[in-house]
Amino acid sequence: MEPRLDHQVRNAVATVVIGNAAKRNAMTAQMWRALPPLLDGLAADPAVRALVLTGAGGTFCAGADISTLQGSPAEAQALAGAAEEALAAFPKPTLAAVRGHCVGGGSQLAAACDLRFAEEGALFGVTPAKLGIVYPAASTRRLVSLVGPATTKYLLFSGELIDAERALRTGLVDEVLPQGELDKRVAEFTRILTERSQLTQAAAKEFANGRADRDAHWAEQARGNDDTAEGVAAFLERRRPRFTWAVPRRG
């Protein structure tokens, strides 16, 4: 099978699948280039309320397929960085569902998601020191925000892989699931996300990502919709709320 990104939308959840079976789902140059426009399309789709990024088969992503990255390391990094930033900027909740290896560019993508759920046996590593590459400043800051300076230095200085339990302890992973339970838990959790207020989620995502200048914008959004009244009414009536605020289309 040719290396590619597959996707589907089901029950308001978009699932993007990294597929490159011959190389543990390593990302080719074409795949790096394809990810930002794919994410733009899913962000604009009102049927999508959350996104899951995962890998085909038994692994997440073993990094970049170096054989396809022609030109300088800086050009290769630019492709990976653009894809990472597009994922980080996705305006709806994102979750990485990780099995097997999540290494190099795979860890970059997982870190750009809002949350990371992993199956027991998963391995994580950030490996530019093995190639003599300077890890981008934005990617380093994102990693620091997840695991702190000491663990970031451990990962970047050594390029060593860590297991899912250590990833959980350090904050790189949010949940670790037993073998065979990952898909069920991801489906359960994303169902919960799709039932919650997109207004709350979108504002929380911006604030958590450091956009402290957007208080007035979100206060105006809150005044101009019925989500709060609906949430209170649903609570009092002991029913599921029917929230109507939706992430605006870009552009």
Q: Domains along the chain?
A: 4-192 (3.90.226.10), 197-237 (no CATH)
> Which distant-in-sequence residues (6+ apart) come within 8 Å of 189 by Cβ?
95, 117
Tokens 């949010």: give the residue. 174
Q: Residue 13 pLDDT > 60, yes or no?
A: yes
- Extended beta strands in the chain, E state: 4-10, 13-19, 50-55, 94-98, 101-103, 115-119, 123-125, 162-163, 175-177
Rounded Cα distance between 63 and 107, Å, is 7
- The string of pLDDT tens digits covering residues 225-235 is 888 888 989 99
Q: What is the pLDDT at residue 73? A: 67
Q: In this predicted structure, what is the pLDDT of residue 69?
A: 64
Q: Which of 93-107, 115-129, 136-150, 233-247 has the lowest mean pLDDT?
A: 233-247
Beta bridge partners of 54: 17, 97
Is 51 strand, coil or helix? strand
Instruction: Give the model confidence (pLDDT) of 156-208 as tens digits.
Output: 999 999 999 999 999 999 999 999 999 999 999 999 999 999 999 999 999 99
Work out the pLDDT band at 53, boundaries 50, 70, 90. very high
pTM for this prediction: 0.94
